[in-house]
Amino acid sequence: MTEIHGPPINVHLPDDLTIPQFFLDSAHSLRPKRPLGVPWMIDDKTGRKIGYEELRARTHGLANALSMRYGIGVYIQHMADYAPVVWAIHRLGAIVSTANPAYTTEELVYQIELTKATTIIAHSTSLEVAADAARQTGIPYERIVVIGDSPLRQFANVDELVKEGLAARQHYVERKLRPGEGKTKLAFLNFSSGTTGRPKAVMISHYAPIANAIQLALHARVGDTDRPRDKQRFRPGDLVSACLPFYHIYGLVIIIHSMLYCGVTLVVVPKFSFVDFLESVSRHRITHLILTVHGMLVPPIAVLLCKQDIVAKYDLSHVHYIVSGAAPLSGELVAQLADRFPNAQIGQGYGLTETSTSVSMFSPDRKVGVVGSSGTLAPGITARVVRPDGSLAGVNEPGELWLKSPALALGYYNNPEATRETFVDGWLRTGDEVRIDKDREIFVLDRLKELIKVRGFQVAPAELEGTLLMHPDIVDACVIPLPDEYNGEVPMAYVVLRPEVDERVRRDPAEATRVKVEIIQHTAENKVAYKRLAGGVEFTDVIPKNPSGKILRRVLRDRAKEKLAGMKAKL
């Protein structure tokens, strides 16, 4: 197979604008006009509608006040003020490093020290950790800004700063970029969710999210008025449930920037709970669900939507579009989603922090995407599938995915070794094993370092996990390799059971054995022999995951090795 190219980009990609200059201050040929009265955001909790003028004013006011007081740096939390805070920082020419509000002090200290942040903007619920991290890293309390009500007056408040900035004359001069400078001027230091080692800070330019928003709009054929309205994927006035965390690249680029670019209104959900999510979707008549990184939920939200009886109590007929990612959806799960949401386009996409963000998406010509596929390449992207020996793989032949994209990151901050390993001659080595079929559909098989090799056959843990999640007793699952003298490795599963099943197996060892046998049989009925759970099944209370929701398989691999070593020691 030669290199695979996405469609050409036939519109201008501005390389002399910062992110707020592009999204707030300029027009673009592809960008649809938002009708009067259609808000940019809606606060889910209060129902308050936030329009363009308010967002732009809050961005300016905050930038003005910050310029009179500080420099700038790290932000924590998820709410309607997230975008104005980010844009205000960019107005000042500073860099934003988004952080998980659930971080411990140690994790936040690591991020602050690596990025050399000088100011923390934190929600009041994260204030204790933010203050402790500031103390440990030498950031004075005067450089902590709070969103929400603060119990201590020593911290500046975003609302107060906005009022202060709007009341004063403009104190800052916004920098105008030279042609091409947007490609190199840093906008974000977002942390990758690699499964080995400590997280790395990915350097993302202003140009990259702008390019990716345009790429996604081109792929979805935004503005194609020749298509009937019900066939158009993103339409001004549509509403998306903005429940993905904004600190994560998917929430930051796909939700905040790409959806706003396409004219979609964000319904901002500060904190996720499944019942509240259903209430919100029904109350606002939300049309778009982007489930990509909710692998961090137990179980993943796509599984909840299919398995929970409570879903049937809500009218969800207005849902027009559902996309998922992070791990392949099984055919059974896609079929169940289609039953739950008969009017929705349903499929999968693929992206990375290092590609800022979307690489592929299911075709706008398909109501339901090809099962197991992450879609076809977005415009402007080139792909290679590379064999272990460096040669190009053939059609349907597995190999490592290499990518080129105008939205590619610049490398890893202060980590030249990792940059050299991953960014090679303009290509990104993704570390993901894929195959691409004759129709150019991309099938992500697994992380190369996580594949289980059974007698020379390669088994993708994510594939087996998708099958396990369809078992009625299982709410979450992780498959790992177990050493085996004959096979080399065999698959073993850790599963989280539904509460009522878990209670039964804890009371009765015979019931535990019966459930394990049933789970092993369930997998055997759906997979070829070498993919069966020859390593057995273990119950666990939780599947360990990193802040981005990706499974930390190494934790369970170590647990399995310790148990195996203990059993051998007793022999």
pLDDT tens figures, 492-508: 999 999 999 999 999 99
Q: Indicate the CATH number of 51-176 among 3.40.50.980, 3.40.1440.10, 1.10.1060.10, 3.40.1360.10.
A: 3.40.50.980
Q: Is the dihedral of CA 117, 120, 121, 126 positive or negative?
A: positive
Total-model pTM:
0.83
- Which residue has better confidence, 26 or 270? 26
Q: What pLDDT is attached to residue 123?
A: 86
**Which range (3-7, 175-179, 267-271, 311-315) has the least confidence?**
267-271
Task: Give the whole-number percent of the chain exceeding pLDDT 70.
Answer: 92
pLDDT digits (tens, 9 = 90+) for 37-91: 999 999 998 999 999 999 999 999 999 999 887 645 444 455 788 999 999 999 9
Start-end ranges of CATH 3.40.50.980 in the chain? 51-176
Q: What pLDDT is attached to residue 270?
A: 82
Q: What pLDDT is attached to residue 295?
A: 41
- Which residue has better confidence, 203 or 69? 203
Start-end ranges of CATH 3.40.50.12780 in the chain? 4-19+186-448
> For residue 294, is pLDDT > 50?
no
Task: Give the whole-number percent of the chain exceeding pLDDT 90.
Answer: 64
Count CA atoms closer than 13 A to 314's CA, side-chain side.
23
Q: What pLDDT is attached to residue 74?
A: 45
Task: Give the integer Cα–Cα distance in Å for 396 and 414.
Answer: 37
- Which residue has better confidence, 526 or 182? 182
Count CA atoms closer than 13 A to 11's CA, side-chain side.
20
Q: What pLDDT is attached to residue 320?
A: 96
E strands along 437-565, which residues? Answer: 442-447, 452-454, 457-459, 474-484, 488-497, 537-539
- Is 412 in a helix, a strand, or coil? strand
Mean pLDDT (the chain, rounded):
89
Q: What pLDDT is attached to residue 262?
A: 96
Give the CA angle between residues 217, 219, 223 to the nearest 5°: 50
Task: Give the integer Cα–Cα distance in Å for 75 and 66.
Answer: 14
CATH of domain 4-19+186-448: 3.40.50.12780
Evaluate whether the domain defined by 451-570 bears CATH number 3.40.1390.10: no
Start-end ranges of CATH 3.30.300.30 in the chain? 451-570
Phi–psi pair at 98, nearest 5 degrees: -80, 145
> For residue 335, is pLDDT > 60?
yes
> For residue 470, is pLDDT > 90?
no
pLDDT digits (tens, 9 = 90+) for 125-151: 888 999 999 999 999 998 999 988 776
Residue 291: partners with Cβ closer than 8 Å, 6 or more residues away = 300, 301, 302, 322, 323, 324, 325
